[in-house]
Structure 1
Amino acid sequence: MDGLPTTMKSERRWRSKPLQASRPSIFMAFFSCVAWLYVAGRLWQDAENRTLLTNLLNKNLDKRPKVLSLEDKLTVLGCKDLERRIVEAEMELTLAKSQGYLKNQIQKSGASSGQKLLAVIGVYTGFGSRLKRNVFRGSWMPKGDALRKLEERGIVIRFVIGRSANRGDSLDRNIDEENRSTKDFLILEGHEEAQEELPKKAKFFFSAAVQMWDAEYYVKVDDNINLDLEGLIEMLDRRRGQDGAYIGCMKSGDVITEEGKPWYEPDWWKFGDEKSYFRHAWGSLLVLSKNLAQYINVNSASLKTYAHDDVSVGSWMMGLQATYIDDNRLCCSSIRQDKVCSVA
C-alpha cells in the first residue's frame, strides 16, 4: 500500500508534461492562422483595387487626350504649312538672285538701260589712302567726264571701301565728301573697313557689284599696283561670253603655321599634313565672270573666309565648275614686258 501513492504521483507527472509542451504549438498555430488571414485579406484587397482601376481606365479610355506626335503638333499649330511656304520663298529668292533679279539693282550713270558692261573694276582702298587715290586718278584711272565716257565703253571703275567701326565719324564723313566731289566710290555699307576684315571685303565687293551692274567680268584690284587699263580691257574683251572664268596669276604655296610670322594662317590645320594651299589666283588682281560673282552674292552668308582674301576667293571656287585661267600678264611682280599690272 505504501507504494501506491508513489505510483499515482508518477503517472500524474507523466500526463502533465505533454499538456505543458503542447501550449506553444497551439499559440504558434493560432498566430500562423491570423497571419495567413491577414495576408490573404491584403492580397484580395489589392486584387479588388486593381480590378477597380482597370475598369475605370477602360471606361474612360475614349475620354483620355490623344498623345500628339511632333508632326501632329506642327499640323495643329499650322507651322507645317508655314514651314513649307518659307522653304518655297527661300528657293524662289535664291533663283531670283541667280537670274539677276536683285534688290536695289540699278544702272549707274553712263551705263544705258539694258546695256551689258564688259567689266566692273573695284580698286580696294582705305581711309588713309587719299594720296594714292589722287595718284591713280592722275595716271591710269580716268576721272570726271573721262570716267563717264569709259562707262559708255562698258567699263566701270570704282574705289571700294567699307564703313568705319564708329559709324558716322570723321572717317566716314571724309569719304562721303570725297565721293560727292569725284563720284568714283563704291561704299560697302555692311562692311567694316579694317585690316582684319579684309578677307570679308571680297564677299561684299562681288555681291554689291553684281547687284549694281550687269557685266561680263568683275575685277578686284589692290591699291598697291599700277594698271595698264587698255591692256586689261583688251584681254577681257577677247574672252567675252566665257562663263565660269576664274582668271589670275595662279599659284599654291606653303601655309604659314607659326603665329606672329607674316602671312600666318590661323586655320593652317585645315590644309592637311603637307600644309600647302590649294591653287588660287594670288596677288593684287583677280577676275571673276558674272556667274561666279553671282554665286558669291547668293551664298555670301555661308562662305568661309581665311586669313587672306585671295585664298578665301580660291576656296569658294573649288566646289564650282570654274575654269582656272592662269595668265602671267596678271602677275604684277613679274618681269614680263606685256603684263597689265605692275607694283606701285
Structure 2
Amino acid sequence: MAWKNRSGAEMNSRNLVSRKLTIFLCISCFCAGMLFTNRMWIEPEAKDLSRPTGTEAEKLKLIAEDCNTKSKSVRRDSKDIIGEVSKTHNAVQILDKTISNLEMELAAARAMQDSIVTGSPISDGLSLPEPVKKRKYLMVIGINTAFSSRKRRDSVRATWMPQGDKLKRLEEEKGIVMRFVIGHRQEEHAEEKKHGDFLRLEHIEGYLELSAKTKKYFTTALAIWDAEFYVKVDDDVHVNIEVDMLNEGTLGATLSRYQSKPRVYVGCMKSGRVLAQKGVRYHEPEHWKFGEDGNKYFRHATGQLYAISKDLATYISINQHVLHKYANEDVSIGSWFIGLDVEHIDDRRLCCGTPPDCEWKAQAGNVCVASFDWSCSGICRSADRIKDVHKRCGEDETALWNASF
C-alpha cells in the first residue's frame, strides 16, 4: 500500500514537472517569435490635440481662400489656353496662306521671265496697264459679255453695278473692282469711252471660245489687280455685291469668310450628265474621256457665277498654255483644279431662282448672292426683267456703303 502511494506521488510529481516545462517552453517560444519577427505591439504615443488659437484660425482661413482663388485661376487659365490655341490656329492658317502666296508669286515671276527670254509673252499682243502697287483688293468681278449684248450691260448698270464716281469709290473704299469682260477690237468703242467699265482681252468672241476667254480673263485680271478673289459672272445674272455683314450677305461677306484659306473654289457645285449626242445644247465632243455613255461630269461650279482665290488664278496664269479647254467653260474650269489641293465650297445662295424664290428667301433673312433661271442658264429676257428682280431681291444701296471688311 505504501508502495502504491509512493508510486502515485512520483507520477504526480512527474506530471507536474511536465506541465511546468510545457508552459515554460510555450512562453519561451512565444517570446522568441515576438522578438525575431519584431511584431511588438507598441502603443502609439498620445498626441496633444489642442484647439487652434485665433491667429492660427485666421491663417487656416487665408489658406482655404487662397486654394479657392487658385482653383478659379486654373479654370480661367483653361479658358485662356483654349483662346490662345484658337489664335495660334488662325495665325498658322494666315502664315500658310502667306507662304503659298509667295510661292505662287515666285512661280509667276519665273514664268514671266521665261516668256521674256523665249520671246513669247504671256498675253500675245495685249498691252496691260501698269499694275496697281501697294493696293490689295478684296475681289475683282468680271462680268462676261459680248459686243451684241449692249442692252444686257445697260440693264446691269441700271441695277446692281455702280456707275461713274460710285464705281471708283467702290474700288477705293471697299476694294471691289467690277468690269465687263469683252474681246478686243481695233476701233475705239463709244460705249467703253462713255462708261470706262470694260476689261479688254486679246480674244475673239464666240460661244465655243468661252473657255479660252475665261482663261484670259483670270490671267489679265491677275496681272492688273492684286486681289484676294477673282469672280466670273454672266451679264444675265442678278448679283447682290454686299449687304450688312451682320446679315451674312452677300458676295463680299461670303468670300470674306474664306480669306484665310489659300486655295478655294466657290460656287454652286453640280455634276451634270455628259451629253454625247451631236446637235444638242452643251454637247461634249470629248465625251469618250468621261467613260461610258450616260456618265456624269466631276463636280464643278455652275458657270453663271463662281469665284476662285488668288492662288488658283495664279496657277491658271502660269499654266495657261497647257490647260485643256473642253467645250463647256464651267467643265474646263473644274478640270483645271482636279489633282490640286483645292477646297470646293458649295454655296447654294449663289444660284437662287428669280422671284418668288429669291424674294421669299430675302424676306426670311436669307439674302441671295445671285439669282437666275435655270431653264435659261440666266435670267430669261434679262434686259427686260432684271429691274424687277433687283427691286424684289436686291440689296439696299445704303447697306453696300455701310459694309466693312
Taking structure 2 as the reference length, the TM-score comes to: 0.56
1:95 shift after superposition: 7.8
1:333 shift after superposition: 3.5
Task: Quote the residue 1:238 is aligned against.
Answer: 257
- CA distance change for structure 1 residues 133 and 253 in 2, over 3 Å: closer, same or farther? same
The answer to whether the Cα contact below 8 Å between 2:141 and 2:176 also exists between their aligned partners in 1 is: yes
1:253 shift after superposition: 1.6
> Do structure 1's residue 187 and structure 2's residue 206 form an aligned pair?
no
> Do structure 1's residue 122 and structure 2's residue 139 form an aligned pair?
no
Q: Distance in 2 between matches of 1:304 and 1:92?
A: 23
Q: Which runs of 5+ in 1 are unaligned?
A: 1-89
**SS of residue paired to 2:182:** strand
The answer to whether the Cα contact below 8 Å between 1:123 and 1:160 also exists between their aligned partners in 2 is: yes
1:198 shift after superposition: 1.3
Q: Distance in 1 between matches of 2:113 and 2:192?
A: 31
The answer to whether the Cα contact below 8 Å between 2:232 and 2:305 also exists between their aligned partners in 1 is: yes
AA of the residue aligned to 2:368: K
AA of the residue aligned to 1:188: L
Alignment of 1:294-313 (within 5 A): 294-313=314-333
The answer to whether the Cα contact below 8 Å between 2:108 and 2:318 also exists between their aligned partners in 1 is: no
1:92 shift after superposition: 6.5
Q: Distance in 1 between matches of 2:141 and 2:305?
A: 10
**SS of residue paired to 1:219:** strand
Task: Quote the residue 1:149 is aligned against.
Answer: 169
The answer to whether the Cα contact below 8 Å between 1:285 and 1:330 also exists between their aligned partners in 2 is: yes
1:271 shift after superposition: 0.4
1:119 shift after superposition: 0.1
Q: Distance in 2 between matches of 1:311 and 1:187?
A: 24
AA of the residue aligned to 1:239: Y
Alignment of 1:148-297 (within 5 A): 148-152=168-172, 153-163=174-184, 167-168=185-186, 173=188, 176-189=189-202, 191-230=203-242, 231-273=250-292, 275-297=295-317
Task: Quote the residue 2:389 is aligned against.
Answer: none
Task: Quote the residue 1:106 is aligned against.
Answer: 130
Q: Distance in 2 between matches of 1:253 and 1:322?
A: 21
Q: Distance in 2 between matches of 1:149 and 1:93?
A: 34
Residue 370 (structure 2) aligned to one of 337, 341, 344: 341
**SS of residue paired to 2:170:** helix
Q: Which runs of 5+ in 2 are unaligned?
A: 1-106, 115-121, 243-249, 362-366, 373-378, 380-405
Q: Distance in 2 between matches of 1:306 and 1:313?
A: 9
- CA distance change for structure 1 residues 91 and 247 in 2, over 3 Å: closer, same or farther? closer
1:275 shift after superposition: 2.2
Task: Quote the residue 2:110 is aligned against.
Answer: 93
1:135 shift after superposition: 1.0
1:241 shift after superposition: 2.7
The farther-off stretch of 270-279 and 298-307 is 270-279
May I ask how many residue pairs the two structures share in their alignment?
238
Q: Distance in 2 between matches of 1:117 and 1:320?
A: 25
The farther-off stretch of 330-339 and 299-308 is 330-339
**SS of residue paired to 1:304:** coil
Q: Render the CA deviation track for 1:132-185: whole Å, top value 9, x for unaligned.
A: 11111111000000000000110000000013xxx53xxx54xx3211211100
AA of the residue aligned to 1:106: E
Identity %: 45
The farther-off stretch of 140-149 and 277-286 is 277-286
- CA distance change for structure 1 residues 291 and 238 in 2, over 3 Å: closer, same or farther? same
Q: Distance in 2 between matches of 1:96 and 1:313?
A: 26
- CA distance change for structure 1 residues 134 and 95 in 2, over 3 Å: closer, same or farther? closer
The answer to whether the Cα contact below 8 Å between 1:118 and 1:217 also exists between their aligned partners in 2 is: yes
**SS of residue paired to 2:183:** strand
Alignment of 1:41-60 (within 5 A): none
4+ runs deviating over 2 angstroms: 90-97, 102-108, 332-336
